[in-house]
Amino acid sequence: MPLSTSIVGTRSAPVDCLLDNRWAMNFAAGIDDRSDVLYDTRNGPIPVHPIFLAHPEWESQKQLMELLGLSIEERGRGVQVTHDSQLYRPLKSGMTLSTEAIVVGVERHRAGAWSTVQYDTKADGELVARTTVAVIYRGVEVVGEDRPAHLVAASVQAGGNGMQTIGTLDLPSTACHLYSECARIWNPIHTDLDIATAAGLPGLILHGTATLARAVSAITNRLTDGDPTRISRISGRFQAMAIVPGSLQLTFQVYPVNGLDAQQVTFTALTASGEKAIGGGVLELRSNASLA
Q: What is the pLDDT of residues 19-51, one digit of tens each?
A: 999 999 999 999 999 999 999 999 999 999 999
Mean pLDDT, rounded, for 76-81: 86
- State yes or no: pLDDT of 76 exceeds 80: no
Mean pLDDT, rounded, for 55-79: 87
Question: What pLDDT does 176 receive?
Answer: 96
- Would you call 33 exposed, middle or buried from its count of C-beta atoms within 10 A (0-12, 13-18, 19+)? buried
Question: What pLDDT does 259 receive?
Answer: 58
Question: What pLDDT does 158 receive?
Answer: 59
Using CA atoms, how far apart are residues 68 and 6, in angstroms rounded to an integer?
Answer: 10
Which residue, among 208, 99, 84, has the nearest Cα to 151 in the 3D structure? Answer: 84
Q: What is the pLDDT of residues 271-292, one digit of tens each?
A: 999 999 999 999 999 887 555 5
Question: What pLDDT does 200 receive?
Answer: 83
Per-residue b or e along 104-134, where b marks 16 or more CB atoms closer than 10 Å to that residue's CB: bbbbbbeebbbbbbbbbbbbeeeebbbbbbb
- State yes or no: pLDDT of 59 exceeds 90: yes
Cis peptide before 245 (omega within 30 of 0): yes
Q: What is the pLDDT of residues 108-158, one digit of tens each?
A: 999 999 999 999 999 999 999 999 999 999 899 999 999 999 877 666 665
pLDDT band at 222 (very low <50, low <70, confident <90, very high): very high
Question: What pLDDT does 219 receive?
Answer: 95
Q: What is the pLDDT of residues 4-27, one digit of tens each?
A: 999 999 999 999 999 999 999 999
**Left, alpha or beta for 271 (phi > 0: left; psi -120 to 50: alpha)?**
beta
Question: What pLDDT does 5 receive?
Answer: 94
Question: What pLDDT does 241 receive?
Answer: 93
- State yes or no: pLDDT of 195 exceeds 70: yes
| Average per-residue pLDDT for the chain | 91
What's phi and psi for 98, nearest 5 deg?
-130, 120
pTM, to two decimals = 0.92
